[in-house]
């Protein structure tokens, strides 16, 4: 049939994907520790309809051929690991990572997941857990009768128990870093899993080497910029309209053929 129909269809589905990514970003504009996505497009392979340099007669050659593109393809989505703004919450178990690194979370299936969302709480056993109830790794267990908990910049957790003036050391929150954080797989619930493309986690103490430091009483906001996303949405919508216009034009051409001949 008409090649332009299929090419414009790829354009429509690419803009469709783009809109989905944008709307997901906007929906998470106030999700703690959320990292925005960006859809990446590339042009599809070209088809040679007529080779450049082919002979047009015995003595002459075509200076240029006819290579026709097949449309656009969504290569994938990229997570943008730029840092969100730090918000002061003054909650003892809210911890933000200022700089690189991820908290390590033990999922119920035994896998370790990684997150930048430091909204922790305490479960019935006194462990520090995420808002979903998954324990932080290495485990931090609070004793009974805790008056106050302090989390240092280097991840040291100490608590004042009952009337004792000397704080008790409860352990260290270690954070993990990756060579290519963009390669992590987002599984929802603000969690990421390690993949072959992210590389193995490098586990370290906050503040050492290039790791970020921990900030107690703060949370990292979403890094979505609502204005940017809205502008993206406008260009996506217009691109969508243009491609649908191509489809209707191609359709008119074909219907003209069937009516006239």
Partner 1 sequence: MDKFLYVAMTGARENMKAQQVHSNNLANVNTTGFKADLEQARSMRVIGEGLESRVYSMGERPGTNTESGTLFQTDRSLDVAIDGEGWIAVLDQEGQEAYTRSGSLQVLSTGELVTSNGNPVMGANGAPIVLPPSSKVNVANDGTITVFAIGDPATEPAVIDRIKLVTLEKGSFFKGLNGMMVKDDGLIADQNIDVRLRSGYLETSNVNAINELTSIISLSKQFEMQIKMMKTAEEISSSGSSILRMS
Of residues 52-91, those binding partner 1 (CB under 8 A): 52, 56-57, 62-72, 75-76, 78, 80, 82
253 binds partner 1 (CB under 8 A): yes
What span, in angstroms and rounded, lies between the C-alpha atoms of 94 and 92?
6
**Torsion over CA of 42, 43, 44 and 50, rounded to 10 degrees?**
-160
Q: Which helix (H) or strand (E) holds 209?
A: none
Residues 179-218 vs partner 1: string with x where CB under 8 A? xx-xx------------xxxxx-x------xx--------
| Closer residue to partner 1, CB minimum distance, 27 or 45 | 45
Read off φ and ψ for residue 100, nearest 5 degrees: -80, 155
222 binds partner 1 (CB under 8 A): no
Among the listed ranges 115-123, 132-140, 144-152, 253-261, the one in contact with partner 1 (CB under 8 A) is 253-261
The residue to which tokens 């217009």 are assigned: 238
- Tokens read off for 246: 């191509």
Nearest C-alpha neighbor of 103 from the set 197, 198, 94, 160? 94
40 binds partner 1 (CB under 8 A): yes
Number of CB atoms found within 10 A of residue 152's CB: 15
7 binds partner 1 (CB under 8 A): yes
Helix, strand or coil, per DSSP, at residue 120:
coil
Residues 158-177 vs partner 1: string with x where CB under 8 A? -------------------x
11 binds partner 1 (CB under 8 A): yes
Task: State the nearest-atom distance from the C-beta of 238 to partner 1, in Å.
Answer: 7
> Please, are residues 251 and 5 in contact by the beta-carbon 8 Å criterion?
yes
From candidates 42, 85, 125, 164, binder to partner 1 by CB under 8 A: 42
Among the listed ranges 2-10, 120-128, 133-141, 149-157, the one in contact with partner 1 (CB under 8 A) is 2-10
What one-character DSSP code corresponds to residue 222? P
């Amino acid at each position: 049939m008409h090649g332009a129909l299929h090419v414009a269809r790829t354009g429509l589905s690419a803009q469709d994907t783009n809109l989905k990514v944008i709307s997901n970003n906007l929906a998470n504009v106030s999700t703690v520790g959320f990292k925005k996505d960006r859809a990446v497009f590339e042009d599809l392979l070209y088809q040679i309809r007529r080779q450049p340099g082919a002979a047009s007669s015995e003595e002459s050659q075509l200076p240029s051929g006819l290579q026709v593109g097949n449309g656009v393809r969504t290569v994938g989505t990229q997570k943008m690991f730029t840092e969100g703004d730090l918000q002061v919450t003054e909650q003892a178990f809210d911890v933000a990572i200022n700089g690189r690194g991820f908290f390590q979370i033990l999922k119920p299936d035994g896998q370790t997941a990684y997150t930048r969302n430091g909204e922790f709480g305490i479960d019935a056993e006194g462990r520090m857990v995420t808002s979903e109830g998954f324990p932080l790794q290495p485990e931090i267990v609070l004793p009974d009768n805790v008056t106050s908990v302090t989390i240092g910049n280097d991840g040291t957790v100490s608590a004042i128990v009952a009337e004792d003036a000397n704080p008790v050391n409860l352990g260290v929150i270690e954070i993990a870093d990756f060579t290519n954080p963009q390669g992590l797989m987002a599984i929802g619930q603000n969690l990421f899993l390690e993949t072959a493309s992210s590389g193995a986690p490098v586990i370290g103490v906050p503040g050492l080497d290039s790791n970020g430091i921990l900030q107690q009483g703060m949370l990292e906001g979403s890094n979505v910029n609502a204005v940017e996303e809205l502008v993206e949405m406008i260009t996506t919508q217009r691109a969508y309209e243009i491609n649908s216009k191509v489809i209707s034009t191609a359709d008119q051409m074909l219907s003209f053929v069937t009516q006239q001949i």
